[in-house]
Amino acid sequence: MPALVTIGLLLAAGALFMACSCTRPAPGPTRNPTTTVTTTVTVQQVKSLSREEVSRMLARVENSPEPQSRMGAMCYEMAMPPDRAEYVCPVCGEKTLYTSGAAQVVEWDLPSCRREFEQLQKASSMQVSLDESGFCHKCQPHGTPQLVLTLTYADSTTRRIAPVGAQDLRLLAGFFSGKLSYETFNEGEEPLKGSTDRLKEILGL
Ligand SMILES: [Zn+2]
């Protein structure tokens, strides 16, 4: 039987939510990280970018003229946020029931984050992983339902940051593909320059 987990603090419940009718529901607002941990691992050396290379890429974003924004699609319709959602763990298959604001995270944000993460993996030679086991009451009985992103640098040191949202993953996809802008949720383009503080935080620079 799915456990009932009620968490209302991730997103305010009950508010009407803007969704794009021609693509998928818009993601929720980016949340600030509450925990960051940097650890050293001893796994086999994998090909990735070094901190120096990533720092150079970030300096390029900061020192280049800001590219023009491009407006995204504006085909919005009002959508009610779900008041309950069942999380099905892709690892163990167990179901965890969420209600209130967390239901919106599971129903809307999580699928969006999975898609954005795929884009990030394609865009990047950086080693990245996304851990959603905190949403599963079996894999992490006392876990926090949040996404944990891990970046592994060329020297095998890792950067773990949580929570991350779809907006963070979009920023990183733009950044690691070597662009000065990133694609917004509604297929617009925004300069990365306005988001370098968040990028530094995620990258641990
Ligand atoms: Zn699980």
Question: Which pLDDT value is given to residue 44?
Answer: 46
CA of 132 to the centre of ligand 1 (A): 9
CA of 134 to the centre of ligand 1 (A): 9
- For residues 109 and 87, give the distance between their C-alpha atoms in angstroms, rounded to a whole number: 12
- For residues 130 and 147, give the distance between their C-alpha atoms in angstroms, rounded to a whole number: 7
* Domain spans of the chain, in order of start: 3-203
Instruction: Provide the residue-wise pLDDT of the chain in tens; the chain has 205 residues.
Output: 444 443 333 333 333 344 444 444 444 444 444 555 555 444 444 479 999 999 999 999 999 999 999 998 887 677 888 999 999 999 999 999 999 888 999 999 999 999 999 999 998 889 999 999 999 999 999 989 999 999 999 999 999 999 999 999 999 999 999 999 999 999 999 999 999 999 999 999 9
Question: Which pLDDT value is given to residue 35?
Answer: 54
Question: Which pLDDT value is given to residue 73?
Answer: 84
CA of 35 to the centre of ligand 1 (A): 22
Phi first, then psi: give them for residue 67, nearest 5 degrees.
-70, 160
- For residues 66 and 70, give the distance between their C-alpha atoms in angstroms, rounded to a whole number: 12
Please, which residues have CB less than 5 A from ligand 1, an ion? 89, 91-92, 94, 136, 138-139
What's the whole-model pTM score? Answer: 0.77
Question: Which pLDDT value is given to residue 37?
Answer: 52
196-203 and 166-176 helices cross at what angle (nearest 10)?
90
| CA 151 remoteness from chain centre | 12
What residue has token string 């300096």? 59
CA of 87 to the centre of ligand 1 (A): 9
Torsion of CA 120, 135, 83, 3, to 10 degrees: 160
Question: Which pLDDT value is given to residue 27?
Answer: 46
**Residue (of 6, 171, 88, 48) closest to 180 by Cα position:** 171
